[in-house]
């Protein structure tokens, strides 16, 4: 066998496991690994401006395409702690990323050495596995196990911490003999599937709830096929948006307290049975359990055994990878259809479609400053079916989910459970790094945008072009709206008069100057009729310069976006659509 530095074996294992891209920031304690990457020459490196940004880039990269595993790298101490938010985000949304950190030499780890921190203990609560490797010869098995853990069961992140001297030690490693470990995926059996399908068939008004697990299993086509076979409408969760096209007759809308459609909530409340596939029954989807479950039975299919019953006890729980379950659901449904056993659902489907046609929110506002609803109307006009949207949290993301249209899996890439501000820019860059030809459009409010704005320089340096729609109300809009319940508007205003940009009035930060200073392009608009031309111009600038292009829309300072505390009590603060012209880009027109 070949004798080599342990860290050279690590680099080779990454290559053998399919890693082709890394996001990180070099440092003294991780320089041996960077030397090994340089020597290997097959893994492209993207230099982040902040190590948290590298972790979010890795997550965006993973989410972009089936089978991807994003790699983020940092040195010892604060690099690892900076990546904790990224690990938490990936863990919460079942996204496999690999975080590698350097560490002080073993003999100095307990001596309060410079930048020596117990990152293993810090990271354990937000990873599937976190380990500091203390024996050089264990690195091979550790990385082999890391990929096995990330890919098995419910996917998630892993952190591997490597002391400097462990990296530098020599070990024996035969790359030709290396083999990936087969991932474990639980699969439903026929008895379970037949019981679930019997319950669905006995119901009068069934729904399928499609979650992020369907996307993780790359099973969106099977989800749509199964829905068509049984002719049952689908409610995608926010993480499962795109598993059935928005304009499909069986797409019944999203349900929830915030990122929902009026018709989605109404269809859920009218149903009597729900088959959940790869979803968590998250609280912003359900609201209170009492309202969500009243009058309906539930079957819950999830890859994680402890997810069954976590929120409420279903009538039947099935531990299974969503793809494996759907494969068997399709097989049994085909047999039952051929035998004439499936119930006719045409009246129920028509009922759901009528709600979808008539229960629209208004978007066609001509106000100046611009109402946010109009921004998404214009985006629907300009961006095509193949657009990939990236967003994290805030009123901008909530409104985007209410008004934009998504037609394919992985065309809505959203941080779901964690929702860290600043996620959007680096995540969008990670998606672009996975596929530079992809049409990527990010959506941020001004505060999310400012959190990690420095990462735009990464897009300029490494030619990662995308369009970033920045809706600026100079407010922490979602928190301001939440503070209404406390009768206050406190510590959430971002407005000030910028002495260097008086033309902005009270809107504070001059994002155009900052963006251009970071090597990107930017356009600012004040009127609704300027939005579509600006987006078209952004496409041209992106194609010409291969850098991120920001389109900033100056919004009215205060807009309350539709939301509530229960799915049967969502507050509609703005006028609703009464005719087709009120919502001209709605997925289903009123007239």
Q: Which positions are annotated as active-site residues?
A: 25, 51, 421, 476, 479
Cα–Cα distance for residue pair 510/508, rounded to 1 Å: 6
How close are the terminal C-alpha atoms of the chain, in Å? 73
Cα–Cα distance for residue pair 119/148, rounded to 1 Å: 21
**Quick count: other Cβ atoms within 10 Å of Cβ 67?**
9
Burial of 100 (0-12, 13-18, 19+ CB in 10 A): buried
Cα–Cα distance for residue pair 534/140, rounded to 1 Å: 52
Cα–Cα distance for residue pair 584/582, rounded to 1 Å: 6
Of the candidates 215, 219, 239, the one whose C-alpha atom is nearest the C-alpha of residue 227 is: 219
Of the candidates 428, 418, 416, 434, the one whose C-alpha atom is nearest the C-alpha of residue 390 is: 428
Provide the pairing of β-strand 129-132 with 97-103: unpaired
Any idea what DSSP says for residue 576?
A: B
Cα–Cα distance for residue pair 63/41, rounded to 1 Å: 25
**Quick count: other Cβ atoms within 10 Å of Cβ 562?**
20
Length of the chain: 591
Sheet holding 388-391, edge to edge: 412-414, 388-391, 440-445, 467-472, 549-554, 521-525
Cα–Cα distance for residue pair 427/88, rounded to 1 Å: 14
Cα–Cα distance for residue pair 40/116, rounded to 1 Å: 28
Burial of 500 (0-12, 13-18, 19+ CB in 10 A): exposed
DSSP notation for 30-94: GHHHHHHHHHH--SEEEE-SSHHHHHHHHHHHHHHSTT--EEEEE-STHHHHHTHHHHHHHHHTT
8 A C-beta contact, residue 326 and residue 229: no
* Run of H or E residues at 189: none
Give residues with Cβ within 8 angstroms of 482, minimum separation 6: none
């Amino acid at each position: 066998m070949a004798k080599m530095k342990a860290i050279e074996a690590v680099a080779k294992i990454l290559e053998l496991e399919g890693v082709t891209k890394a996001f990180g920031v070099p440092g003294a304690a991780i320089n041996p690994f960077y030397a090994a990457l340089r020597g290997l020459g097959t893994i492209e490196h993207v230099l982040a401006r902040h190590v948290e940004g590298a972790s979010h880039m890795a997550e965006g990269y993973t989410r972009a395409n089936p089978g991807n595993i994003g790699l983020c790298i940092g040195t010892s101490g604060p690099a690892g702690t900076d990546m904790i938010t990224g690990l938490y985000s990936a863990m919460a949304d079942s996204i496999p990323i690999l975080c590698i950190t350097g560490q002080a030499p073993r003999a100095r780890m307990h001596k309060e050495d410079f930048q020596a921190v117990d990152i293993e203990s810090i990271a354990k609560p937000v990873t599937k596995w976190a380990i500091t490797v203390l024996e050089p010869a264990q690195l091979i098995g550790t990385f082999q196990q890391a990929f096995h853990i990330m890919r098995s069961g419910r996917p998630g992140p892993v952190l591997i911490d490597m002391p400097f001297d462990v990296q530098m030690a020599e070990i024996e490693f035969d790359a030709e003999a290396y083999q990936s470990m087969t991932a474990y995926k639980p699969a439903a059996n026929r008895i379970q599937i037949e019981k679930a399908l019997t319950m669905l068939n006995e119901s009068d008004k069934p729904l399928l709830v499609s979650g992020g697990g369907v996307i993780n299993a790359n099973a969106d086509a099977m989800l749509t096929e199964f829905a068509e076979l049984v002719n049952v409408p689908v409610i995608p969760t926010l993480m499962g948006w795109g598993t059935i096209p928005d304009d499909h007759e069986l797409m019944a809308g999203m349900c929830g307290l915030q990122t929902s459609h009026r018709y989605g909530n109404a269809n859920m409340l009218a149903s009597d049975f729900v088959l959940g596939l790869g979803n968590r029954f998250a609280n912003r989807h359900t609201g209170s359990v009492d309202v969500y479950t009243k009058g309906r039975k539930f079957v819950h299919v999830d890859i994680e055994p402890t997810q069954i019953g976590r929120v409420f006890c279903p009538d039947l729980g099935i531990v299974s990878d969503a793809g494996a379950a759907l494969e068997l659901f399709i097989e049994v449904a085909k047999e039952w259809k051929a035998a004439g056993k499936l119930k006719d659902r045409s009246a129920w489907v028509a009922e759901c479609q009528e709600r979808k046609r008539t229960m629209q929110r208004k978007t066609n506002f001509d106000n100046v400053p611009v109402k946010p609803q109009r921004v998404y109307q214009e985006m629907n006009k300009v961006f095509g079916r193949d657009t990939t949207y990236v967003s994290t949290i805030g009123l901008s993301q909530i409104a985007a989910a209410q008004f934009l249209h998504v037609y394919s899996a992985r065309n809505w890439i959203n941080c779901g459970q964690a929702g860290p501000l600043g996620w959007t820019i680096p995540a969008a860059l990670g998606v672009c790094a996975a596929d530079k030809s992809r049409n990527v459009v990010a959506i941020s409010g001004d505060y999310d945008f400012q959190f990690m704005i420095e990462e735009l320089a990464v897009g300029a340096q490494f030619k990662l072009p995308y369009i970033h729609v920045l809706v600026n109300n100079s407010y922490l809009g979602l928190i301001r709206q939440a503070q209404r319940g406390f009768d206050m508007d406190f510590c959430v205003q971002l407005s000030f008069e910028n002495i260097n940009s008086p033309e902005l009035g009270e809107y504070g930060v001059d994002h155009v100057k900052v963006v251009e200073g970071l090597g990107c392009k930017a356009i600012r608009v004040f009127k609704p009729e300027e939005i579509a031309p600006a987006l078209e111009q952004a496409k041209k600038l992106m194609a010409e310069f291969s850098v991120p292009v920001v389109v900033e829309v100056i919004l009215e300072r205060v807009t309350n976006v539709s939301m509530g505390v229960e799915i049967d009590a969502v507050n509609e603060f703005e006028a609703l659509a009464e005719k087709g012209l009120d919502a001209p880009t709605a997925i289903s027109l009123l007239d």
